[in-house]
Amino acid sequence: MTGEMRASDADRTAVMQILEQAVGHGMLSLDEYSERADVALAARTRGELDTVIADLPHVRRQPVPAAPPEVVRSWMSSISRKGPWTVPPRLELITRMCSTTLDFTSAVLPGPVVSIEIDDYFGSVDLILPDGATADCNRVSTLAGSTSVRVGTGQPSQRLHIVVTGRVRFGSLTVRHPFGAALRRFLR
């Protein structure tokens, strides 16, 4: 089960440190280090990371527990995050009859991937992403509402990729770039 869990940046960093120690102790050549480092940096799961260090003695990595999501709850109000706000790696929005705007264009990001779980009734959620950012909203279920994704949805961006899951009931979810982004791209 642990091997199937997604690897975090902290997991990859820990494996890179183990590989560096193995080179320092003469357990790996520089070529082996280079090959394993490439695999470790591209690993998506903890199992893939474990295979990189499986044959190194006394060098077993302890799993890093996933941090709990930051939970934002609101009823009949508005939530707005704009400017240089600090984004948690995992965010859970529980809203009822709310207007929610999360602007990621100037936000301080924890890494290239941010997960957002939405539980919304009768509200609107507006996610504003910087140019070049992508989003995955395929696991959002909508009941008598709408989900509109106006950003790239293909290959995850190295700048920012938002993964949105959850439910929108009698409300709307919009993922877009800031107003005027298309015009700015055209004028370049």
Question: Residue 1 has what pLDDT?
Answer: 44
Question: Could you give the angle at which helices 9-24 and 46-53 cross, rounded to 10 degrees?
Answer: 0
The distance between the two most distant Cα atoms of the chain, rounded to a whole number of Å, is 62
The dihedral sign for the CA sequence 25, 29, 33, 34: positive
Question: Residue 128 has what pLDDT?
Answer: 97
Which residue has better confidence, 126 or 46? 126
The dihedral sign for the CA sequence 137, 138, 140, 141: positive
The pLDDT tens digits of the residues spanning 80-118 come to: 999 999 999 999 999 999 999 999 999 999 888 899 999
Break the chain into its structural domains and give their ranges: 2-53, 70-187
Whether the CB-CB separation of 82 and 108 falls below 8 Å is answered with no
Going by pLDDT thresholds of 50, 70 and 90, the confidence category of residue 123 is very high
pLDDT higher than 70, residue 183: no
Whether the CB-CB separation of 88 and 109 falls below 8 Å is answered with no
For residue 75, give Cα distances in angstroms to 57, 93, 142, 173.
Answer: 54, 11, 19, 17
Residue at 29: amino acid letter: S
The pLDDT tens digits of the residues spanning 46-90 come to: 889 889 998 887 544 445 456 789 999 999 999 999 999 999 999
Q: Quick one: which of 21, 17, 19, 11 has its CA closest to 43?
A: 11
Question: Residue 179 has what pLDDT?
Answer: 85
- Name the percent of the chain lying above pLDDT 90: 52
Hunting for tokens 């700015």 — which residue is that?
184
The pLDDT tens digits of the residues spanning 140-177 come to: 999 999 999 999 987 777 789 999 999 999 999 999 99
pLDDT higher than 80, residue 13: yes
